Amino acid sequence: MGYFLNPLSGISGKKNRRILFAGSIFILISFACSPKVPDMTVRSNLFQSKNRSIVIQHFVCYPEMATGLSKSFAQGLGGVMALEIQKSLWRMGHLQSVVVPADESATGGDLLLRGRIIRLSGGHRLHRMTLEVFGYGRCEAQVMGEVIEMQSSTPLLSFFITRGSSWTWRGNERAIREAIEEIAESIAKHVLQEPK
């Protein structure tokens, strides 16, 4: 009966304390490692995106700054980011958006969404697979950008968003793609958020 109440009852007091101490340290470390970085957004002017068309430019991405990823994969991520934002807007019911290349002049819309991918780190897959509880091998993507009213060139919203994962067993490129999808969804939520 006593074993069910205390599974460590057959172990001496000193060993019992060591096991409990080691277990509590392990639990604290697993919750404390690799915290989620909050989004940083600034609304300079109140705006409503409902019933307004949004032009999304390909995000600027320099493949030379990517670590742990192939340069050919990193080169196309600016366009992937724009398309993922458009998909997220569509999923949230906003169908009035179009994607244009970064070098093309954006015309014909009410709002312009543009940005830059400023950090891409693929992390280390083996570390993620073996030491994932402690946050080793974390992949990370950072994006900054803005929403501008096209007629008056007034900045409406600025954002800086970081996403990453230390919990996935996927390869570096798939882990970064997952982070890009999460960033795109977050950007879409901020753009569609109604002013209070």
pTM for this structure? 0.75
Going by pLDDT thresholds of 50, 70 and 90, the confidence category of residue 55 is very high
Residue ranges of E strands in the chain: 40-43, 54-57, 60-61, 66-67, 97-100, 111-121, 139-149, 154-165
Q: What is the pLDDT of residue 132?
A: 56
Domain count, the chain: 2
If asked whether residues 63 and 26 sit together in one domain, one would say no
Nearest to 105, CA basis, from 144, 150, 49: 150
Going by pLDDT thresholds of 50, 70 and 90, the confidence category of residue 2 is very low
Strands 111-121 and 139-149: antiparallel
56 token code pair:
């999304």
If asked whether residues 84 and 114 sit together in one domain, one would say yes
If asked whether residues 93 and 55 sit together in one domain, one would say yes
Which residues is 145 bridged to in the sheet?
A: 115, 159
CA distances from 16 to 68, 145, 173 (A): 43, 54, 44
Mean pLDDT (the chain, rounded)? 80
If asked whether residues 72 and 146 sit together in one domain, one would say yes
If asked whether residues 13 and 44 sit together in one domain, one would say no
The stretch 73-99 carries a mean pLDDT of 92
Range of the domain at 71: 36-192
16-36: pLDDT as tens digits: 677 777 766 666 555 545 556
If asked whether residues 22 and 8 sit together in one domain, one would say yes
If asked whether residues 27 and 42 sit together in one domain, one would say no
Give the end-to-end CA distance of the chain in Å, rounded to a whole number: 59
If asked whether residues 25 and 102 sit together in one domain, one would say no
* CATH number of domain containing 138: 3.40.50.10610
